[in-house]
Amino acid sequence: MPKQDSRRVFGQTSEAAAENYLRRKGYHILGRNIRSPNGEIDLVAETNGVLVFIEVKARRSSVFGGASLAVTSLKQARLVRLAAQYLAHHRLGDRLCRFDVVLCHGGGAQQSSIEHIENAFEVPGEDLRW
């Protein structure tokens, strides 16, 4: 399998594992791989009345700092814009929201561990209601 295909398969496997993990924790998954011209939201879920925008990061090793360092401030800003677009499109104006990150670590085609970081970053100057 070419290197690019194995990365894609690992990413898809990790997103599916993250979704299953969140379902087991009681999250209601509202959408997966929600695309717009400006990017993609990996997962959108709801738990305890909070709308959660979830970024899934998969890394085979921590050579480049691991999955947690992959959610840069630029990526955070893009996720905030995508979340605002999602809320506007679905007319979900006054919803309490947060941003989570699910980190999938492992090698081969399978992830070996999952770490869920709730409220992984905050939106400066916002109370996360739109």
Residue 129 has pLDDT above 70, yes or no: no
| Full-model pTM | 0.84
State how far the Cα of 24 lies from the Cα of 102, in Å rounded to an integer: 14
Q: How far is CA 126 from CA 11, 21, 62, 88, in A?
A: 31, 29, 32, 16
Residues 39-55, mean pLDDT to the nearest whole number:
96
Higher model confidence: residue 64 or residue 27?
27
Residue 28 has pLDDT above 80, yes or no: yes
Residues 1-18, mean pLDDT to the nearest whole number:
78
